[in-house]
């Protein structure tokens, strides 16, 4: 059965973007390689979704070096966290409506 | 969006939040082995101590320097064996699940547990040098317990209980000088075996990866 998408965040329509956001909300910050390992996605795929979230200002990026290796870390921004919460509430409301 | 997708979505969010913050590849079997090493170590220590000394309960023990050095070496051997077994079995368990043992959550686990552990280690060494032998077993137990509680946010909740039991045991040991070795054996031996067995049956058995 089809259900209405009220309050749904376009940015989180994609599964991987929603997963990235859940990891970043639960952690202070997370680096690219750990995210890749956790979500079992390819470099290019993850990078493009991270770019999209960055463009929406849902996450912030900080680049540094560990020895000679570049280390890119991601944090959820305030805007991102509140968008994520709203999205979850929308999901929960949908479930409640269906139980009625 | 379909209804079943909705549930899948929410449960995938929940597992990811959990998996990204908690390190769940700690091996239960290694807890049992660490406990066995500790018990063997305690038996050897008991024999070393009673060979030349009479056992005097409720008194601060007074050991010679040669005996102390032997006991410290014994304790270090037990420690190194327990840590290396734990690290090896944990790496094996992580591999079996297709995960990297050295990941963000295991780093957080170590970073949080290490401060009380190192503080306690240095504190106990200072006491040892100053000759306060009776405080060593309770000191080890209390600081080890604090370190487990501090690290437990990043792994199974059961670790917190192990930590609390170690702290309680350490405090009781402090009340009963002269029985340090028995409490040490109970805390590092018996408790680890119980904890390891609980972990093994609760989390490892279905994965059969130790």
Set of chain A residues whose Cβ sits within 8 Å of the Cβ of B9: 15, 18, 91
Question: Closest residue of B to A3, CA-based?
Answer: B1
Any domain includes B95? yes
Set of chain B residues whose Cβ sits within 8 Å of the Cβ of A91: 6, 9-10
Any domain includes B131? yes
Go through chain A and tell me how many residues it has. Answer: 100
What backbone phi and psi angles, to 5 degrees, belong to A42?
A: -80, 160
- Which helix (H) or strand (E) segment is B86 a member of? helix B65-96
What are B126-158's pLDDT values in tens digits? 998 888 888 999 999 999 999 999 999 899 889
Task: Please list the residues that pair with A59 across neighbouring strands.
Answer: A76
Asked whether the predicted pLDDT for residue B5 surpasses 80, the reply is no
Asked whether the predicted pLDDT for residue B70 surpasses 50, the reply is yes
- The whole-number pLDDT of residue B62 equals 66
Q: Tell me what the mean pLDDT of segment A76-97 comes to.
A: 89
* Fold of the CATH domain A10-94: Arc Repressor Mutant, subunit A (1.10.10)
- Is the CB of B17 less than 8 angstroms away from the CB of A94? no
- B7-25: string of b/e by CB count within 10 Å (b at 16+)? eebeeebeebbebbbbbbb
Any domain includes B91? yes
- A vs B, Cβ pairs < 8 A, gives 56
- The whole-number pLDDT of residue A70 equals 85
Residues 165-194 of B with CB under 8 A from A: none
What are B184-198's pLDDT values in tens digits? 999 999 999 999 999
Any domain includes B198? yes
> What's the per-residue H, E or C state across A34-91?
HHHHHHCCCHHHHHHHHHHHHHCCCEEEEEEEECCEEEEEEEECHHHHHHHHHHHHHH
Number of domains in chain B: 1
Any domain includes B19? no
Q: Tell me what the mean pLDDT of segment A48-56 comes to.
A: 94
The predicted complex's ipTM stands at 0.73
Report the C-alpha gap between B102 and B105 in whole angstroms: 8
A6 vs A79, more confident: A79
Range of the domain at B57: 27-204
For residue A55, give how far its alpha carbon lies from the nearest alpha carbon of chain B (Å): 22
What are B8-37's pLDDT values in tens digits? 788 888 888 888 888 888 889 999 999 999
Asked whether the predicted pLDDT for residue A5 surpasses 70, the reply is no
For residue A36, give how far its alpha carbon lies from the nearest alpha carbon of chain B (Å): 12
- The whole-number pLDDT of residue B210 equals 43
- Is the CB of A91 less than 8 angstroms away from the CB of B10? yes
What are B88-132's pLDDT values in tens digits? 999 998 888 777 888 888 988 999 999 999 999 999 999 988 888
Q: Tell me what the mean pLDDT of segment A14-39 comes to.
A: 90
Asked whether the predicted pLDDT for residue B59 surpasses 70, the reply is no
Using CA atoms of A75, A80, A82, A86 in order, give the dihedral in degrees to the nearest 10: -130
Any domain includes B104? yes
Nearest beta carbon to residue A22 from set B17, B99, B100: B17
Report the C-alpha gap between B105 and B156 in whole angstroms: 12
Any domain includes B1? no
Partner A contacted by B99 (CB < 8 A): yes
What are A32-42's pLDDT values in tens digits? 988 998 888 99
Query: Does the pTM of the predicted model rise above 0.90?
Result: no
Do residues B170 and B141 touch, judged by C-beta distance below 8 A?
A: yes
- Is the CB of A26 less than 8 angstroms away from the CB of B9? no
Q: How much is the CA Rg of chain A, to the nearest whole Å?
A: 15
Question: Closest residue of B to A24, CA-based?
Answer: B17
Do residues B101 and B90 touch, judged by C-beta distance below 8 A?
A: yes
Low-confidence winner among B44-48, B56-60, B165-169, B195-199 (lowest mean pLDDT): B56-60
Any domain includes B196? yes
- Is the CB of A91 less than 8 angstroms away from the CB of B21? no
């Amino acid at each position: 059965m089809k259900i209405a998408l009220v309050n749904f965040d376009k940015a989180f329509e994609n599964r991987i973007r929603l997963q990235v956001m859940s990891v970043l909300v639960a952690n202070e910050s997370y680096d690219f390689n750990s995210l890749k390992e956790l979500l079992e996605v390819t470099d290019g795929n993850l990078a493009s979704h991270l770019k999209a979230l960055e463009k929406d200002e849902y996450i912030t990026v900080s680049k540094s070096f560990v020895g000679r290796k570049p280390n890119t870390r991601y944090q959820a921004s305030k805007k991102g966290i509140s968008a994520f919460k709203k999205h979850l509430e929308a999901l929960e409301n949908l479930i409640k409506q269906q139980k009625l | 969006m379909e209804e079943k997708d909705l549930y899948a979505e929410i449960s995938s969010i929940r597992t990811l939040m959990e998996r990204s913050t908690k390190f769940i590849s700690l091996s239960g079997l290694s807890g049992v082995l660490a406990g066995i090493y500790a018990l063997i170590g305690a038996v050897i220590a008991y024999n070393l101590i009673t060979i030349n000394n009479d056992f005097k309960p409720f008194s601060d023990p007074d050991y010679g320097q040669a005996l102390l050095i032997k006991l410290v070496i014994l304790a270090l051997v037990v420690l190194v064996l327990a840590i290396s077994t734990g690290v090896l079995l944990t790496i094996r368990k992580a591999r079996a699940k297709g995960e990297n043992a050295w990941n963000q959550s295991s780093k957080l686990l170590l970073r949080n547990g290490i401060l009380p552990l190192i503080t306690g280690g240095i504190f106990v060494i200072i006491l040892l040098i100053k000759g306060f032998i009776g405080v060593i077993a309770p000191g080890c137990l209390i600081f080890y317990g604090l370190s487990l509680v501090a690290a437990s946010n990043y792994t199974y909740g059961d670790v917190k209980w192990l930590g609390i039991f170690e702290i309680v045991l350490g405090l009781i040991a402090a009340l009963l000088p002269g029985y340090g070795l028995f409490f040490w054996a109970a805390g590092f031996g018996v408790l680890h075996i119980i904890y390891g067995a609980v972990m093994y049956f609760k989390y490892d058995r279905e994965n059969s990866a130790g």
